[in-house]
Homo-oligomer: A and B are copies of this chain.
């Protein structure tokens, strides 16, 4: 099979042996695979795949058709449209994944849309609903509202009945983010727009002290990205006075059972809203697998709203 390959910080598309599904696993003929910030970090050697995942093939999400069911795998039948997260290896013509990590693809989603769903919606749902336990009517602040996780988080927050505020640095994207249902503000001003019950932090260290300051009593900060730095000063007395908590979280390193539980929750709670059109998957641009380098460069350039997705063609 052909797959995106990262070796010695060089990105290419090259030939790999076809993976073989083991017990409980499914071989998926990948039709689309979204790009994520984590891929950019992996490209420069800063975010290696966890043990058990392909080390040289990036890709944390995919959508495609069930091609082979391994021994004991019984949730899906050949040809079923499925999608899911993996620790790596999603940006390939074929991927092997445990059937408990898969979700069905709603009929109305195109392949590029489906390929851009799993990582951002699982991440946003897990952070907001499972960890922060966002409630009806609460005020949610999403940092980086124009990003993939940001757009998913804004929509999920609205769907859960929260009042959503989002910071967006790029002024040219603010109108589109507003259309997703958020009140869009400048990243410099967010403390004045508080207090917030939940803060979704994708930027990292520079925001933390101000996040605590902007929290409501009983507020929760969920840190799922530290692109702008990881180390920062924390005032514990401030956290105590707010009776607040700070969660750190990442999906990629979790074991099968935790990824499966997160997938079940998204299947039950989020897919119906994707199927009805209440949630949308903005796709900015698709690239054929062979043009992966151009896709990565486009992602890294930023300045756009919506997913960048690789699409794979398979002989019928």
Contact = CB atoms under 8 A, between A and B. Distances in A.
A226 B237 contact: yes
A2 to B, nearest CB: 32
A131 B246 CA distance: 12
A234 B232 contact: yes
Contacts of A248: 236-245
A254 B217 CA distance: 10
Interface in A220-265: 223-224, 226, 230-250, 253-254
Contacts of A224: 240
A149 interface: no
From DSSP, what is the main secondary structure of chain A's interface residues?
A: mixed
A21 interface: no
B240 A236 contact: no
Contact of A253 (B204, B241, B250): B241
A236 B247 CA distance: 9
Contact residue range for chain A? 20 to 34
A3 interface: no
A240 B226 contact: yes
B232 A240 contact: no
B253 A236 contact: no
A27 interface: no
Contact of A233 (B223, B234, B242): B234
Nearest to A218: B258
B247 A234 contact: no
A276 to B, nearest CB: 32
A234 B248 CA distance: 11
Contacts of A250: 240-241, 243
A197 to B, nearest CB: 15
Contacts of A96: none
Contact of A231 (B205, B236, B253): B236
A204 B231 CA distance: 18
B246 A239 contact: yes
A232 B236 contact: yes
Greatest chain B CB density within 10 A among A131, A204, A231, A232 is at A231
B236 A233 contact: no
A297 B34 CA distance: 65
A245 B245 CA distance: 7
A237 B201 CA distance: 12
Contacts of A231: 233-236
A12 to B, nearest CB: 29
A245 B235 CA distance: 15
7 contacts: A223-B240, A230-B237, A231-B236, A234-B246, A240-B248, A240-B249, A243-B254
